[in-house]
Amino acid sequence: MATGAELIRQIKERIEEVDPREVNDLVEGGPNGTLIVDVREQHEFEEAHLPGAKHVPRGHLESRIETAAPDKSKRVILYCQSGNRSALAAHTLQELLGYEDVASMNGGITLWKDRGYDVEVPRSLTAEQRSRYSRHLLIPEIGLEGQMKLLDAKVLLLGAGGLGSPIALYLAAAGVGTLGIVDDDEVDLSNLQRQVAHSEERVGMPKVDSAEIAIKGINGDVNVVKYQKRLDASNIMEIIEGYDVIVDGVDNFPTRYLLNDATVRLRIPVVSASILGFDGQLSVFHPYEGPCYRCLYPTPPPAELAPSCGANGVLGVLPGVMGLLQAVEVIKLVTGAGEPLTGRLLLYEALGATFTELKVRRDPDCPICSRDPESISDEEMGVFPDYEAFCAAAG
């Protein structure tokens, strides 16, 4: 009876072995019909593997190879850590499963790495993350890839108030990796009717700190970046740059226009909502892929037609409804799932329980988004024709 080492040596004489250099030429040459299969265990594959390699662990070779390599006439190159397991697997494919063109890579991934060739280091979720996000992983539109995108995403919330509160909580729960929060306000008792990220014991605390506590309570992995300041022309560019999506829940027109102009300049999509009384509006402004805020509202209304929630009141649940619709749009933008609300304005009227959708077109004469983003100057940002009068009237 042969020893294990002798058996491997004998089998290697009966199969084709290829040098890593030949495999590297194939990898660098792009798609060519040759399939590269890693036959090691899951944890070895997850550590690092050849670029584009499929994974069929040797223990499941017979039952799974046909899914990975359905065409038995096509060339298959197997590899493992050092070239022994892949030789045995190649022998199985060739002698028992009828694969016509099989080879084993000599020296395995060890020799491959010694030669300095590229490896892919796949990212994966920890066991805890797999459990936490299991309901996302089960829906194909999100799945592992979408969850990874969420974990990598940087989302900026403008305002930690009525809209910002539910958004912060749900995006934290969804696993958005970085949540920036801009708010210069402190928690007030009158906020608690709707601003669910805050609490009685945090009245008087800066909202960014209170929101951070709420976020961390749900998901300690979220990186919270706090900006306890009011967004203005002097700080907007440095605050928003680098974020993937911005969520607009600010409570005044000048900041909405300023935000629009800065985000068009930086090409950052904005998920925008506004609320008053029992009414809410929602849209996604994705620069150059759809209209911008100025295409929809070229100028703000005079102050008497633009009352604030502080002056006119708002149903406490309404920002919950609208904020969560915003959170859904953020997740869609980050993961690429579904149809974002770009070029559409969704109106919600709570008393009648009606949703209405209106079309929003890009304005070919838009003072901002009809132009090259680099041509938008600092001086123009946030300016609209009656700016001075508007701000004076608004007090």
Partner 1 sequence: MPTAKIPPVLRASTGGEKEVDVDGETVGDALRSLASQHPDTERQLFGENGELNRYVNVYKNDEDVRVLEGLDTPLAGTDTLMILPAMAGG
Binding site for partner 1 (CB under 8 A): 158-159, 161-164, 248-253, 256, 273-279, 281, 296-302, 305-309, 314, 319, 345, 347, 352, 356-361
Q: Which two tokens stand for residue 260?
A: 């629009």
Round to whole Å and give the CA distance between 34 and 157: 47
CB of 231 to partner 1, least distance (A): 12
Task: Compare residues 50 and 296 and give the one whose CB is closer to partner 1.
Answer: 296
Tell me the one-letter amino acid at 13: E
Beta-sheet strands, E only, within the chain = 16-18, 35-38, 54-55, 76-79, 102-105, 154-158, 178-182, 223-227, 245-248, 270-276, 279-285, 344-349, 354-359
Task: Compare residues 175 and 249 and give the one whose CB is closer to partner 1.
Answer: 249
CB of 235 to partner 1, least distance (A): 19
Round to whole Å and give the CA distance between 27 and 118: 10
211: left (phi over 0), alpha (psi -120 to 50) or beta: alpha
Round to whole Å and give the CA distance between 84 and 331: 45
- Radius of gyration for the chain, computed over Cα atoms and rounded to the nearest angstrom: 28
N- to C-terminal Cα separation, the chain: 96
Task: Compare residues 112 and 253 and give the one whose CB is closer to partner 1.
Answer: 253
Task: Compare residues 146 and 162 and give the one whose CB is closer to partner 1.
Answer: 162
Task: Compare residues 8 and 233 and give the one whose CB is closer to partner 1.
Answer: 233
Round to whole Å and give the CA distance between 360 and 205: 39
CB of 244 to partner 1, least distance (A): 21
Task: Compare residues 306 and 324 and give the one whose CB is closer to partner 1.
Answer: 306
- Which residues does residue 223 pair with via DSSP β-bridges, in sequence order? 178
Nearest to 335 by CA among 199, 64, 144: 144
CB of 331 to partner 1, least distance (A): 20
**What residue spans of 229-317 are helical by DSSP H?**
236-240, 253-266, 293-296, 309-312
Task: Compare residues 163 and 333 and give the one whose CB is closer to partner 1.
Answer: 163
